[in-house]
Chain A
Amino acid sequence: QSALTQPPSASGSPGQSVAISCTGTSSDVGGNNYVSWYQQYPGKAPKLMIYDVSKRPSGVPDRFSGSKSGNTASLTVSGLQAEDEADYYCTSHAGNNNIVFGTGTMVTVL
């Protein structure tokens, strides 16, 4: 199972929006609605930000939103804040009941 494809980096100024893509295949992203997104600070454990494509766990700001079209899912961070600077990873349920992670995107707040 190959990793999902994400851009290595993305950036935006405070208050702006940034969108991160996550491209897979019809066997993973395109084949179900079990796409999740995680935020990770250096040296820390990942934190779930979005699940089931667009649902937010309790406590996650509504500045974070998710969507999907075909084999590509997206995470959008609106009203960018300094604390949003982190690595972001997508995942999808895949064949053989596996979970596949994306390659990761480093978000920089300019």
Chain B
Amino acid sequence: QVQLVESGGGVVQPGSSLRLSCAASGFTVRTHGMHWVRQAPGKGLEWVADIWSDGIKNYYVDSVRGRFTISRDTSKNTLYLQMNSLRDEDTAVYYCARDIAVGALDFRGQGTLVTVSS
């Protein structure tokens, strides 16, 4: 059974760093593109970043490029999102997802809440 378990969220001050994890089971992350999507409180969904199945190519939304880094550890079957220089506007629930086709995201987790506040 495919499962994704996000963790690592919490309350941090502006300018801080945080690393989110997404532990996958039921499939291997090396065979799928993997994504992070976020949702600010009461707002819509926003795609944040992805890493292709080759593990090399990765892309980011403009607002996080240069601050966030997506990576994966195939030995742990886990996806990561390193978030640096956090801002108030990064406050959101962060979901990870695998793709089952180009741009078709399969969400199997509950998300993890990141709150950036002074």
Contact = CB atoms under 8 A, between A and B. Distances in A.
Interface residues of A, number: 28
A100 B59 CA distance: 12
Interface centre among B61, B103, B110 (most CB of A within 10 A): B103
B interface, by DSSP: helix, strand, loop or mixed?
A: strand
A98 interface: yes
B59 to A, nearest CB: 5
Given A1-B61, A1-B62, A99-B35, A46 B103 contact: no
Interface in A14-68: 34-36, 38, 40, 45-48, 51-52, 55, 57
Question: What are the 8 A-B residue pairs with the smallest beta carbon separation, nearest first?
Answer: A51-B104, A99-B47, A34-B103, A45-B107, A104-B44, A93-B103, A97-B59, A34-B102
